[in-house]
Amino acid sequence: MARRVAWQVEADGDAHRLDAALAQRADWLSRSAAQNAIRNGLVRVNDEVETRPSTALKLDDRVESFLPEPEDPDARLVAADVPVDVIYRDDHILVVDKPHGIAVHPGPGHRDDTLVNGLLKIFPETAAVGAPDRPGVVHRLDLDTSGLLIFALTPEAYVQLGKAMRERAIKRTYTALAHGRVQPAEGTVDAPIGRDPSNRTRQAVVESGRAAKTHYRTVEQLPNATLLEVELETGRMHQIRVHLTAIGFPVLGDMTYGNSPKVNGLNRQFLHASRLSFAHPVTGEQMTHESPLPADLASVLERLRQA
């Protein structure tokens, strides 16, 4: 888990090198560990990622970081034989096609059977990239959402991809099947998302939540369902599922938010990350990767078309 460390430089005695100040504030980190955290893009100064350990702090500078907790030997990430479907790889990044039912990184209930465990086995260099409890991870997908993810293989790529994500420069497109006849056929859901006050394990549209925006358009109209192309402008937890439920058209198969009818053969939410478009974090080359519907979703869709 990560611990937030934040402060504002308020006295001349605090105005020294960033790595030294960080090691002093996060006293469980060595100076070299603090330097690695900075190089890996885990530290912001005045809301901007700072990757130079030698940066001199000035009076009134604001520093914020989410750092790994003191190491627990029992909590170390392990490499494991988890299949990883790599559809693109170079020296800096991976694009992976995640199957449903596999978590992106370790968490409650998933210790050594995640994509990160599999990546550590195949690409051990990812262990030194990004946050120690989720190395290489740039963005995530829900356990039962399939599709495309980017992982960083180098600190430089991790920092640049993180910046692109914050600046909404990575275009993430999903294929979703919603219950009902979605109206209007094309639109935007602009509604803040936060913890559901009546159920803390869920997300909900709440006034106090974080800004969230989802664009959708109808691809195909079925008798009692609508095939949608959905594009995320922001990336809140469960955003598509929460937003489509909020407008009355839940994702088919979503047992957490949906309350939609059961569909034979559909054992998870009908949601697939089908396309990623972004600039390569090092070369700047524009890249687009696509993933077709996996077999379980494709077969459900075909049966519904024939109903």
Cβ atoms of 78 and 90 closer than 8 Å? no
Cβ atoms of 19 and 31 closer than 8 Å? yes
Give, as one character, the DSSP assignment of residue 107: B
As a whole number of angstroms, the distance between CA 24 and CA 32 comes to: 12
Annotated catalytic residue within 19, 61, 133, 142 = 142
Angle between helices 18-25 and 31-39 (to 10 degrees): 120
As a whole number of angstroms, the distance between CA 216 and CA 229 comes to: 6
Cβ atoms within 10 Å of 111's Cβ, excluding its own: 15
Cβ atoms within 10 Å of 253's Cβ, excluding its own: 23
C-alpha 231 chain-centroid distance: 14
Give the helix/strand (H/E) hosting 127.
none
Tokens (6 digits) for 18: 């960033």
Q: Name every residue whose Cβ is closer than 8 Å to that of residue 193 and which is 6 or more positions away in sequence.
A: 203, 204, 205, 206, 209, 210, 212, 236, 237, 238, 239, 242, 243
Tokens 């190491």 belong to residue: 71
Tokens (6 digits) for 208: 């106090």
Q: Name every residue whose Cβ is closer than 8 Å to that of residue 241 and which is 6 or more positions away in sequence.
A: 142, 250, 251, 254, 256, 257, 258, 269, 271
As a whole number of angstroms, the distance between CA 282 and CA 159 comes to: 10
**Residue 97 a catalytic site member:** no
The set of catalytic residues is 142
